[in-house]
C-alpha cells in the first residue's frame, strides 16, 4: 500500500474527530457568551480560513495532528491576583466575553464538552451502523475444542454455548475473541450452556504471536476453541433506533472501560506494551481499514473518537482533564491555584505528553522492524 493510501484516510478521519471535539468546546462557549477568536483544525501556519459574523477565525493549518479553540482574552493560567488586572484591561462589554471570568460550572462544562462530543460522535456512528448494516447476533456455540488446549483442560466441550465471559453477556460470536483479549485477568471465567444446564469453567489462556484481520502482528490470548458459524454466514440483524442506540452506548462503555483497564496495567508495569500505538500505527490501521469500505472506516473512526475523548479527560495539565482538575481545586478551596503552581503543572504536563508521544512513535517504528 502506498504512503498516500495511509495518509489521506488518516487525515480525513482525524479532521472529523478533532473538529467534533473542538466544536463541543465552541458550542458551549458560545452558549455561555464566551468570545471565540479562533477555531483551528491543525497547528502551525494557516493554509486557509475565513471570519464569521461574530469575529471567529475558522482556519485549517499545516500540521493536521489536532486543533484548538481560542477564547477571547485567552490565557493558560489564571489566579485571583490577575482578576483585577483583567477587569482593568477590558471594558464592561468585553468582560462578559472572557472565559476566565465565567462561573466555575460554566468553565467546567465548556472544557468537558470536547471529550463529551467525541463520545456522542461514537454513539452516533455505531447507531447508524447498527441500523443500516445490522448487529451480529450469531450465538457462540463451540464446534471444536483443540486437544491439550487451555479450553480442553478446563472441560469445555463441543456444542457448549458460551453465555458470558467474566460476567459479560455474550450476544455475538464476534464478542468471544474480543472479551478474551480485553480481559485483564490471568484466569477467565466462562459461563456455558450444556444440555440445558448452566456451568462455569475457568480457563487460563495462552499468549501467542498472531496476526489480526488486517495482517498486522499482534499477541493474542488463545484458549483453543473453534466456534460454529451456521452456513458460514453471520446472523446480522438490522436494529431499530432505540436498540441501535442502546447497543451503541454499551459498545462505547465497554471500549472505554477496557481501555482504562489496559492503561492501568501499563501504569503498574504489567501487560504487553507492543500494542500501544501512536500516530504512525493509527495511520497504518486507518489506511488498511479504509480499503475494506466505508463502514469499517467509520467504525475505526468511532473507536479513535472514544480514545481521544478518554485521553483528554486524564487529569494531566494541558489536557481538558487537567483544567477540570484545577477547577475542582478552585471549587473546593474557594480560590484557584497560584499562577506559579499552575505554570509548574503545565510544564510537567508538557514534558509528560512529549515523552508519551516519543514513546508511542518509537513503538510504532519498532513494529515495522
22, 85, 198, 291: the active-site residue: 22
- What is the pLDDT averaged over residues 267-289? 58
Containing domain of residue 63, as a range? 3-132+304-367
Are 114 and 27 part of one and the same domain? yes
pLDDT band at 177 (very low <50, low <70, confident <90, very high): confident
Please give the residue that has the higher pLDDT: either 28 or 369.
Answer: 28
Are 157 and 196 part of one and the same domain? yes
Boundary-marking domain end, from 195, 221, 237: 237
- Residue 242 predicted with pLDDT over 60: yes
Are 9 and 127 part of one and the same domain? yes
Domain for residue 250, yes or no? no
Are 8 and 56 part of one and the same domain? yes
Q: What pLDDT does residue 321 have?
A: 92
Boundary-marking domain end, from 237, 263, 284: 237
- What is the pLDDT averaged over residues 65-82? 73
CA distance 4 to 18: 21
In the residue annotation, 93 being an active-site residue is answered as: no
CATH number at residue 176: 2.30.42.10
What does R_g of the chain's alpha carbons equal in angstroms?
A: 24
- What is the pLDDT averaged over residues 330-352? 82
8 A C-beta contact, residue 213 and residue 174: no
pLDDT tens-place string over residues 180-230: 888 878 899 999 999 999 999 999 998 887 665 555 566 788 899 999 887
Helices 294-312/3-31 angle, 10° precision: 50
Please give the residue that has the higher pLDDT: either 335 or 268.
Answer: 335
In angstroms, the Cα distances linking 330 to 103, 110, 113 are 11, 16, 19
225, containing H or E segment? strand 225-227
Amino acid at each position: 500500500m502506498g504512503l498516500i493510501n495511509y495518509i489521506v484516510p488518516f487525515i480525513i478521519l482525524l479532521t472529523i474527530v478533532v473538529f467534533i471535539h473542538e466544536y463541543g468546546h465552541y458550542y458551549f462557549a458560545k452558549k455561555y457568551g464566551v468570545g471565540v477568536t479562533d477555531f483551528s483544525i491543525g497547528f502551525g501556519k494557516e493554509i486557509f480560513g475565513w471570519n464569521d459574523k461574530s469575529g471567529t477565525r475558522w482556519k485549517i493549518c499545516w500540521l493536521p495532528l489536532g486543533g484548538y479553540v481560542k477564547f477571547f482574552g485567552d490565557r493558560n493560567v489564571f489566579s485571583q491576583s490577575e482578576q483585577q488586572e483583567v477587569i482593568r484591561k477590558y471594558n464592561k462589554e468585553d468582560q462578559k466575553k472572557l472565559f476566565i471570568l465565567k462561573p466555575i460550572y460554566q468553565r467546567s462544562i465548556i472544557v468537558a464538552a470536547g471529550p463529551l462530543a467525541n463520545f456522542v460522535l461514537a454513539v452516533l456512528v455505531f447507531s447508524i451502523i447498527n441500523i443500516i448494516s445490522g448487529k451480529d447476533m450469531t450465538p457462540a456455540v463451540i464446534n471444536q475444542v483443540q486437544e491439550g488446549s487451555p479450553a480442553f483442560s478446563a472441560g469445555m466441550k463441543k456444542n457448549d454455548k458460551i453465555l458470558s465471559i467474566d460476567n459479560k453477556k455474550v450476544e455475538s460470536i464476534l464478542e468471544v475473541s474480543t472479551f478474551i483479549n480485553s480481559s485483564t485477568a490471568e484466569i477467565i471465567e466462562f459461563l456455558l450452556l450444556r444440555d440445558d444446564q448452566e456451568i462455569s469453567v475457568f480457563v487460563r489462556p495462552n499468549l501467542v504471536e498472531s496476526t489480526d484481520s488486517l495482517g498486522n502482528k499482534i499477541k493474542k490470548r488463545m484458549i483453543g476453541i473453534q466456534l460454529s458459524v451456521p452456513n458460514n454466514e453471520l446472523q446480522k440483524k438490522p436494529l431499530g433506533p432505540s436498540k441501535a442506540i442502546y447497543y451503541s452506548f454499551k459498545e462505547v462503555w465497554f471500549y472505554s472501560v477496557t481501555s482504562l483497564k489496559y492503561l492501568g496495567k501499563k501504569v503498574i508495569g504489567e501487560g504487553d506494551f507492543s500494542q500501544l500505538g501512536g500516530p504512525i500505527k493509527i495511520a497504518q490501521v486507518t489506511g488498511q481499514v479504509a480499503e475494506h469500505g466505508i463502514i469499517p472506516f467509520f467504525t475505526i473512526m468511532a473507536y479513535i473518537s472514544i480514545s481521544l475523548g478518554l485521553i483528554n479527560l486524564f487529569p494531566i495539565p494541558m489536557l481538558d482533564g487537567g483544567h477540570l482538575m484545577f477547577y475542582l481545586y478552585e471549587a473546593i478551596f474557594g480560590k484557584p491555584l497560584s499562577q506559579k503552581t499552575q505554570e509548574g503543572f503545565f510544564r510537567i504536563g508538557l514534558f509528560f505528553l512529549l515523552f508519551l508521544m516519543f514513546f508511542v512513535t518509537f513503538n510504532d517504528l519498532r513494529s515495522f522492524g
